[in-house]
Amino acid sequence: MSEETKTYDNILLEAVRDGVYLLTINRPKVLNALNAATLEEMNDAVSEVISDPGARVLLIRGSGEKAFVAGADIEHMSHLSPIEGKAFAEHGMHLFRRLETLEIPVVALVNGYALGGGCELAMSCDFILAAENAKFGQPEVNLGVTPGFGGSQRLTRLVGRAMAMELLVTGRNMSADEAMRRGLVNHVYPQPELLDEGLKLASMIAGKSRSAIQLTKQLVQRGQDLDLDNACVMESDLFGLSFSTPDRIEGMAAFLENRKPKFA
């Protein structure tokens, strides 16, 4: 049973299941393009989710059947000065980095176009579920600009330097199947099944230990840019830290008692 939270102009935020939130970018007339107001509302919605101690997973999607997010709002960007353009990029960078480092998993449900800022938004999530009609790309070169919300950096880390360079300088799109082959997408589903599959996955995650997931996400996010020795030291440290949590006590007791754990 979904429960609407605070009212926004450009997005919808719903608590759809225990611990599971669904954020919908709701600008279908412009294919959910991102402008400054939408970024600000998304940032506010993230704060609302994190203020709930019961939050376990955040799903992000676009409204309508045509697009997840077709990109940053070109009408909005066309009037920006260089200084304003930099500020707009920093606005998006801050939000997307916040999603990337959020203490709970964030999952993108990509239906239709995820181009430019939309692709960058999807890549800032922990992983991506895509509908069969999904299209991914960074077409900024067609507008005479570079990516501005982290596309050149996240795409390189996800698909490798050579493939990222090809996509960035040609501006071509990737199908959902190609995106999965390249390691950008985790799973591809028929369009009508995408939300249900996302909710199924979210419910699975929501039943796990929140503290263990939070520490695991830190390991993946922080460790990917460390050398292996230091990354493994960090893992040992956080493994030890996890022994201080009530979830560790409950999880191990449940295993020894042959029952399902009841995490806080």
Any domain includes 216: yes
Do 75 and 23 fall within a single domain?
Answer: yes
Residue 191 to residue 104: CA distance in whole angstroms: 26
What's the total number of domains in the chain? 2
Residue 260 to residue 70: CA distance in whole angstroms: 42
Is residue 140 part of the annotated active site? The answer reads: yes
Any domain includes 261: no
Any domain includes 241: yes
Do 84 and 215 fall within a single domain?
Answer: no
pLDDT of residue 6: 80
Residue 228, token pair as written in the block: 């292996």
Do 176 and 143 fall within a single domain?
Answer: yes
Catalytic residue, candidates 90, 120, 132, 197: 120
Q: State how far the alpha carbon of 180 is from the alpha carbons of 57, 114, 184, 221, in Å.
A: 22, 14, 6, 21
Do 199 and 106 fall within a single domain?
Answer: yes
Any domain includes 262: no
Catalytic residue, candidates 140, 178, 193, 257: 140
Is residue 14 part of the annotated active site? The answer reads: no
Do 202 and 230 fall within a single domain?
Answer: no
Do 171 and 241 fall within a single domain?
Answer: no
Domain harbouring 44, CATH code: 3.90.226.10
Range of the domain at 51: 3-206
Do 99 and 221 fall within a single domain?
Answer: no
Give Dmax over CA atoms of the chain in angstroms. 64
- pLDDT above 70 as % of the chain: 98
pLDDT tens string, the chain, 264 residues long: the values are 466 668 999 999 999 998 999 999 999 999 999 999 999 999 999 999 999 999 999 999 999 999 999 999 999 999 999 999 999 999 999 999 999 999 999 999 999 999 999 999 999 999 999 999 999 999 999 999 999 999 999 999 999 999 999 999 999 999 999 999 999 999 999 999 999 999 999 999 999 999 999 999 999 999 999 999 999 999 999 999 999 999 999 999 999 999 999 998
Any domain includes 264: no
Residue 16 to residue 83: CA distance in whole angstroms: 40
Domain harbouring 249, CATH code: 1.10.12.10
Query: Which of 80, 86, 15 shows the shortest CA–CA distance to 45?
Result: 15
Do 120 and 186 fall within a single domain?
Answer: yes
Any domain includes 76: yes
Any domain includes 113: yes
Do 145 and 237 fall within a single domain?
Answer: no
Do 97 and 134 fall within a single domain?
Answer: yes
Any domain includes 8: yes
Do 96 and 221 fall within a single domain?
Answer: no
Do 191 and 217 fall within a single domain?
Answer: no
